[in-house]
Amino acid sequence: MNEDVFSGWSGRILLAILLIVLLAFPWLAGEQGRFYTVLLMTVFIFATLGHAWNLLAGYSGLLSFGLQVYVGLGGFTIGMLSFYGHVNVWLAMPIAAIVSVAFAWLLAIPVTERFTGKRAAGPMVIAVILWILYEILISYEPSFDIFRGHYTRRVSILLLIFLGALPLLKLQGAYFAVATWLIAAAVSSVFNEWKVTGAGGGLSIVSNTSIMARYYTGLVLIVLSTFAVWYLLRSRYGQALTAVRDDEEAANSIGIDIRRVKTLVFLVSAPMAGLAAGLFYIDNVTITPSDAFSIRWSAVVVFVVVAGGMGSLAGPIVGAVIFVIVDRVVSGYIGSGELALGVFSVLIIILLPRGVMGVVNDLRQSDKKRKHRVRTGPSGFGPPNIGKSKISAVKSPEDWKAEQVASPSLPPGLVSVFLVPGSPLPYLRPDNPPWVPIMEAFKTVQQALEASRPDVILVYSTQWAAVLDQLWQSRPRLHGIHVDANWYEYGDLPFDISIDRPLAERLGKASQAAGVSSKTVDYDQFPIDSGTIVANNMLNPDGRIPLVIAANNMYHDFDTTRRLGALAVKEAIADGRRVALVGVGGMSGSIFREEINIADDRIIDATDDRWNQKILELMAHGDHMQLEKVMAEYASEAKADMGFKHFAWLLGGMGNNWLGARVHAYGPVYGSGAAVVEFELPTGE
């Protein structure tokens, strides 16, 4: 989604010229150029198929090896309507799309909550009853049997019932790939035995279409499918697709409806494949089950997408051009289409592992990456920002420090600032000797926080991961039992948290106005992260002080997070609040990968330990300048928890007007570093 070839006026002019050339090509080529017209039409067909597969695998992570089921269904729908009903093939094409969508919907049904678990029994019982009634009907009137045979009828109906109950879209990775392949194979076996489809012999498609008509139909298909993918990717669902692809659990934790996202791309990709296949077989004139449902379709489409660039809009189009050249031109010299495709597949894997568009985008973004490295330092503190925003505008550390010197006064409402670890282990096992100092330090800073008498606690936890937006928790009360995904064997985490909803909504609007895509989260059963729960239970045990909780957006860098911290404190004070600022997260990030005796816990790496102590010493002395110089190196060398962005949150809220810090505890948590730190402010009560 980083492609900008056709952005701006020059890009739009280039796109317009390209479309004009494609529209005029058949006329310019004439009769002597019919071969090239057919080649271009074939490019349109395979590019459309590539869009369908790329939408599933490249953008959503649904690695499918069953795209041929839509090829077969789309092709045979047109074939049967043409052969038996004498329906014009152009009128049959929309029906092919509908059939493809209906089959995709059948597979998506079990994903909805209405048809999961015990609820699936009802629809299945209804389906079986309808089947029995159908059997009774055709026993009296055999002409109503559209399957024309006992075996085909019963296998088909059983398959439809099974597919209607199969939670396909809940599968991931290799399981999804194998399931889609088996579904296509099962449908193929039915069509091979079905007399209506020629019982393996196939059908002839009655078509009097011209090459010109087929060419323009292909052009319309590729334009519409490209626009559909482009529009979808730039809608709110676009970022949700990649979030689901990268990490379903994280996507779910930030409120993305995974079922809806997967169902959407499934229903969009199916008609693309069905229509492209329909045009292919209209041009091919004949269709057989062995060809239409062949696994070769998936292999070819994978080649198209990978060669062009997986996860890119232009990738399938570029890949289709490469495929057609290899399959229709190069194979003529080699003498074998399969051999030519195999050779080029190996070459692409070796030379262009990210496809042609991967190389193009790398070249195009090289200058941007250089500027990004200058802005964020050697380690980068995470992925580049999404979009351009006022709050994440490019500013050097020198600009930031000058900005702080220009306005040195500390906001009067900031009354206390703390950095605390987010791991639940010390909380769950407070008697473990290596963790006792951390728990004692928690008690000390809890007293300090209470003495500062804040009206609200602004919390930033590295464990609440967000991908699409900057999230702010706004549900007035959060309570329940949480089980940590990594340390569940150590016990549960009860929580009862009150939220300053008006302030949370104000911060959501303020960050949105500042140019950062933001939203508030307000619905029951939203997963609360372990770090926030531990911090609240230890610092605010009676839940008397309301919180505002900010998510850790994975695409925000150190500087952006610092500016968000500044914005949060500024808005809270402007709203009349006394503010306690809390950053929840660890120090060095390496942990033991094997099970250890927790009584023997230690910092896993001596280098990590030295870095942690150096950073804490600089904090203690309030050495702002030196911290600025070494922060990027620390994040890289010690693998600091999420680039140490929870400290960036604190720096933003404090500015450079803190005097130093009291390190109440420092120690190991399963090999990683953890510290409890109280920052000294120049004024306070």
429 & 284 share domain: no
Residue 591 has pLDDT above 80, yes or no: yes
286 is a domain residue: yes
Residues 340-345: what's their mean pLDDT? 79
CB proximity list for 584: less than 8 A, separation 6 or greater: 420, 421, 422, 459, 460, 461, 462, 463, 531, 532, 534, 535, 646
Are residue 419 and residue 273 in the same domain, yes or no? no
444 within domain boundaries: yes
Mean pLDDT along residues 339-367: 76
In this structure, the number of other CB atoms found within 10 A of the CB of residue 159 comes to 15
pLDDT digits (tens, 9 = 90+) for 373-412: 444 343 333 333 333 333 333 333 344 334 433 333 444 5
Instruction: Categorize the per-residue pLDDT at 313 as very low, low, confident or very high, splitting at 50, 70 and 90.
Output: confident
- 165's CB contacts (< 8 A; 6+ apart) are 110, 120, 123, 124
Planar angle of CA 659, 662, 664, nearest 5 degrees: 165
pLDDT of the residue at 375: 41
Residue 645's domain spans which residues? 414-680
Q: How far apart are CA 584 and CA 560, in angstroms?
A: 17
Residue that wins the pLDDT comparison between 14 and 6: 14
Q: 253: helix, coil or strand?
A: helix
Last residue of a domain, one of 231, 260, 294: 294
Tokens 């051009």 — which residue? 321
In tens, the pLDDT along 543-569 reads 889 999 999 888 888 888 999 999 999
Q: How far is CA 512 from CA 339, 505, 515, 577, 649, in A?
A: 55, 11, 5, 21, 17
pLDDT average, residue stretch 29-56:
91
Total domains in the chain come to: 2
pLDDT at residue 418, rounded to an integer: 96
Q: Among 49-63, 132-146, 623-637, 670-684, which is the least confidently predicted range?
A: 132-146
Residue 425's pLDDT band (boundaries 50, 70, 90)?
A: very high
Q: Give the pLDDT of residue 16.
A: 85
Looking at per-residue pLDDT, the higher value among 409 and 195 belongs to 195
Higher-confidence residue of 389 and 493: namely: 493
Mean pLDDT value across residues 639-647 = 89
- Tell me the three state secondary structure of residue 516: coil
Ramachandran class of 601: left when φ > 0, alpha when ψ lies in -120 to 50, beta otherwise: beta
Average pLDDT, the chain: 81
Partnered with residue 204 across adjacent β-strands are: 286
Lowest mean pLDDT among 100-109, 122-131, 245-254, 468-477: 245-254
Domain end (from 271, 294, 317): 294
For residues 200 and 290, is the Cβ–Cβ distance under 8 A?
Answer: yes
pLDDT value, residue 482: 83
Instruction: Convert 388-441 into a string of H (helix), E (strand) and C (coil).
Output: CCCCCCCCCHHHHHHHHHHCCCCCCCEEEEEEECCCCHHHHCCCCHHHHHHHHH
Q: What is the rounded CA–CA span in Å between residue 188 and residue 166?
A: 18
For residue 665, the model assigns a pLDDT of 94
Q: What is the CATH number of the domain that holds 657?
A: 3.40.830.10
The answer to whether residue 146 sits within a structural domain is no
Q: Which of 336-345, 464-473, 475-484 has the lowest mean pLDDT?
A: 336-345
Does 399 fall in a domain? no
Over residues 356-365, the mean pLDDT reads 73
Helix (H, G, I), strand (E, B) or coil at 313: coil
**pLDDT classification of 670: cutoffs 50, 70, 90:** very high
Burial of residue 593 (CB within 10 Å: 0-12, 13-18, 19+) is exposed
CA separation for the pair 447, 662 (Å, rounded): 14
Is the pLDDT higher at 553 or at 154? 553
**Which has the higher per-residue pLDDT, 112 or 397?**
112
Task: Identify whether residues 527 and 655 lie together within a single domain.
Answer: yes
Element spanning 482, H or E: strand 477-482
C-alpha to C-alpha distance for 117 and 124, rounded to whole angstroms = 12
pLDDT digits (tens, 9 = 90+) for 70-98: 999 999 999 999 988 889 999 999 999 99
Q: pTM for the complete prediction?
A: 0.55
The pLDDT score that the predictor gives to residue 364 is 64
Q: Residue 250 — very low, low, confident or very high, per pLDDT cuts 50/70/90? A: low
- Among 14-18, 183-187, 258-262, 265-269, whose mean pLDDT is lowest? 258-262
Q: Where are the alpha helices (DSSP H) in 452-578?
A: 501-513, 530-539, 558-574
pLDDT at 120 over 70: no
Distances (CA, A) of 245 to 48, 54, 262: 21, 12, 10
Q: Is residue 5 included in any domain, yes or no? A: no
- pLDDT at 293 > cutoff 70: yes
Rounded to whole angstroms, the Cα distance separating 198 from 239 reads 45
User: Residue 80: which H helix or E strand, with range?
Assistant: helix 68-85
Max mean pLDDT range (131-145, 279-293, 469-483): 279-293
pLDDT in tens, 434-446: 999 999 999 999 9
Distance CA 520, CA 254 (A): 11
> How confident is the model over 347-362, as a mean pLDDT?
79
Q: Which of 245, 270, 294 is the last residue of a domain?
A: 294
579 or 682, which is more confident? 579
Q: What is the pLDDT of residue 127?
A: 67
Q: Quick one: pLDDT at residue 504?
A: 93
Q: Span 248-268, mean pLDDT?
A: 73
Over 527-556, what HEC string results?
CCCHHHHHHHHHHCCCCCCCEEEEEEECCC
Q: How far apart are CA 149 and CA 145, in angstroms?
A: 8
- Residue 174 lies inside a defined structural domain of this protein: yes
Residue 599 lies in a domain: yes
Bigger pLDDT: 646 or 344? 646
- Of 91, 307, 317, 297, nearest to 225 by C-alpha is 317
Which whole number is the average pLDDT over 315-344? Answer: 80
Residue 622 has pLDDT above 50, yes or no: yes
pLDDT of residue 249: 62
Q: What average pLDDT does this structure show over 529-549?
A: 92
pLDDT for residue 347: 84
The whole-angstrom separation of Cα 625 and Cα 398 is 10
Region 471-485: mean pLDDT is 86
In a domain, 223, yes or no: yes
What proportion of the chain, given as a percentage, has pLDDT over 70? 80
Q: Which pLDDT value is given to residue 423?
A: 92
* pLDDT value, residue 383: 34
